[in-house]
């Protein structure tokens, strides 16, 4: 049971605490700015992709460890320069028909990874525009485990993920994309500061996988399907915007509310809509400059995009933030707001470093 408080904040996909030694991280790629931490994935694409059998995908859980924090008065995020934006790409060659319902973006999906305790976990994420159409945006705590001081292992992105009624019905209509390079802000990696809880991941070109069970064991056939952005498009990116913006948020919530109610399964994508405002401070997470809005998402939605100027026809908008923290603002043991770090020039530094990294096809499997 979560403690009752006027304001409770919890990372939407917190970092699980468990025993375990530190794991060495590969050397950093050259970064254009000292504030940007870039690391290559330490497990081969072959090992990563083949690890995620349909059973393991279904068994992965949102990484909520129940950490809570009381909110207090705080200061709003402030622009540190003029507003900027990068346009989206998407729905190449066509547009969706007008509809009264919300057309879910093809760019949004689930990321799966092994945390520092060795457990299979998942978050939400989105494809975002970059020079080489190979970029995924998510929360930094879905990339870096501050409990164990290491980047996540066997990290993959599956856009438009859908989980059927049975474990063998997990869907990856646009393929599976393995991480090559993680890009985060130094203040999150070193200081565990959730005002910098965002990350951008360069992924290799994707595979379509066909799993079959032969003699009780899984076998898989792979087919390269090309770049992520060519297959699903990429959301735009914007920074130094007003703290009061109308946004859509998308993700795969799955966890419980503090009162134990579990309204979401995490098996399908959900959305929220509202107008952001500055959130209070949450000292336990060093939060001082988050923006958020009314939404009942629970853990599992972490890393999903907050999209500004979202167009239902093209299913694209501008990445204004990423789901980071769930809040109980009235102390009734129900999450009622979600928040994101305020995207400013520091965010743009990390995005820019990632948006200009090339990946290409995965290395050929070792015979």
- Pairing verdict, β 316-322 and 236-239: parallel
Q: Helix, strand, or coil here: 353?
A: helix
- pLDDT attached to residue 66: 41
Cross-strand bridge partners of residue 156: 112, 178
Question: Would the pLDDT of 136 be above 60?
Answer: yes
Confidence grade of residue 171 (pLDDT, cut at 50, 70, 90):
confident
- CA atoms within 13 A of residue 325's CA, in its CB half-sphere: 35
Provide the pLDDT for residue 260.
Answer: 92
Q: For residue 97, name the pLDDT band (cuts at 50, 70, 90).
A: low
pLDDT digits (tens, 9 = 90+) for 278-298: 999 998 899 999 999 999 999
If one compares 27 and 256, the residue with the highest pLDDT of the two is 256
Per-position b or e across 264-278, b if 16+ CB within 10 A of its CB: bebbebbbbebebeb
Q: DSSP secondary-structure letter at 104?
A: P
pLDDT band at 274 (very low <50, low <70, confident <90, very high): very high
pLDDT digits (tens, 9 = 90+) for 314-341: 999 999 999 999 999 888 999 999 999 9
| Banded pLDDT at 364 (limits 50, 70, 90) | confident
Residues 6+ apart with CB under 8 A from 88: 129, 233, 234, 235, 236, 314, 316, 317, 318
From the CB of residue 351, how many other CB atoms can be counted at a distance below 10 Å?
A: 25
Provide the whole-model pTM: 0.89
**pLDDT (mean) for 257-276:** 94
**Residues 131, 229: contact at Cβ < 8 Å?**
no
* Section 181-192 average pLDDT: 97
Higher confidence at residue 219 or residue 65? 219
Answer yes or no: are the C-beta atoms of 6 and 63 closer than 8 Å. Answer: no
Give the helix/strand (H/E) hosting 63.
none
Give the CA angle between residues 196, 330, 191 to the nearest 5°: 20
Q: What is the pLDDT of residue 294?
A: 96
Output the CA angle 65-66-67, nearest 5 degrees.
100
CA distances (Å), 308 to each of 88, 185, 213, 235, 239, in order? 11, 22, 44, 10, 11
CB neighbour list of residue 3: distance below 8 Å, 6 or more residues apart? 68
345 SS3 class: helix
Q: Answer whether residue 70 shows pLDDT above 90.
A: no
In whole angstroms, give the CA distance from residue 107 to residue 357.
19
Q: What's the confidence (pLDDT) of residue 170?
A: 66
The per-residue DSSP string of 111-135 comes to: EEEE-TTS-EEEEEEEEE--TTS-E
Reply yes or no on whether the pLDDT at 174 is more than 60: yes
Q: What is the mean pLDDT of the chain?
A: 86
The confidence band for 107, taking pLDDT boundaries of 50, 70 and 90, is: very high
Sign of the four-CA dihedral 173, 88, 86, 319: negative
* Lowest mean pLDDT segment, chosen from 25-29, 129-133, 141-145, 166-170: 25-29
Q: Is the pLDDT of residue 300 over 90?
A: yes
Contact assessment for residue 45 and residue 204, using Cβ atoms and an 8 Å cutoff: yes
Residue 141 has φ and ψ, to the nearest 5°, of -75, 0
Cα 210 from Cα 265, distance rounded (Å): 25
Q: Is the pLDDT of residue 73 over 70?
A: no
Contacts of 54 (CB under 8 A, 6+ apart): 167, 168, 170, 211
């Amino acid at each position: 049971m979560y403690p009752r408080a006027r304001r409770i904040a919890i990372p939407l996909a917190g970092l699980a605490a468990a025993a375990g030694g530190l794991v060495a991280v590969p050397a950093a790629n050259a970064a254009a700015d000292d504030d940007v931490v870039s690391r290559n994935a330490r497990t081969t694409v072959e090992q990563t992709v083949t690890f995620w059998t349909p059973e393991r995908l279904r068994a992965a859980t949102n990484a909520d460890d129940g950490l809570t924090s009381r909110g207090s008065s705080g200061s709003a995020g402030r622009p540190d320069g003029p507003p900027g934006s990068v346009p989206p790409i998407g729905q190449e060659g066509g547009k969706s028909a007008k509809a009264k319902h919300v057309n879910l973006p093809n760019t949004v999906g689930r990321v799966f990874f092994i945390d520092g305790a060795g457990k299979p976990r998942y978050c939400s994420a989105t494809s975002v525009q970059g020079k080489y159409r190979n970029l995924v945006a998510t929360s930094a705590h879905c990339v870096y485990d501050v409990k164990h001081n290491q980047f996540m292992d066997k990290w993959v992105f599956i856009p438009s993920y859908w989980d059927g009624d049975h474990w063998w019905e997990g869907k990856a209509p646009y393929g599976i994309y393995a991480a090559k390079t993680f890009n985060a802000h130094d203040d999150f990696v070193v200081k565990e500061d959730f005002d910098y809880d965002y990350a951008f991941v360069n992924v290799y070109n994707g595979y379509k996988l066909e799993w079959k069970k032969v003699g009780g064991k899984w076998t898989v056939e792979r087919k390269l399907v090309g770049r992520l952005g060519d297959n699903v498009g990429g959301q735009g990116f914007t920074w130094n915007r007003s703290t009061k913006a109308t946004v859509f948020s998308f993700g795969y919530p799955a966890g419980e509310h503090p009162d134990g109610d579990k309204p979401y399964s995490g098996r399908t994508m959900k959305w929220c809509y509202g107008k952001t405002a500055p959130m209070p401070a949450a000292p336990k997470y060093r939060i001082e400059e988050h923006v958020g809005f009314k939404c009942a998402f629970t853990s599992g939605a972490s890393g999903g995009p907050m999209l500004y100027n979202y167009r239902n026809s093209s299913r694209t908008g501008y990445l204004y933030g990423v789901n980071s923290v769930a809040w109980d603002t009235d102390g009734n043991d129900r999450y009622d707001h979600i928040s994101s770090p305020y995207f400013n020039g520091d965010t743009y530094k990390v995005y820019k470093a990632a948006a200009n990294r090339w990946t290409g096809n995965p290395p050929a499997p070792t015979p």
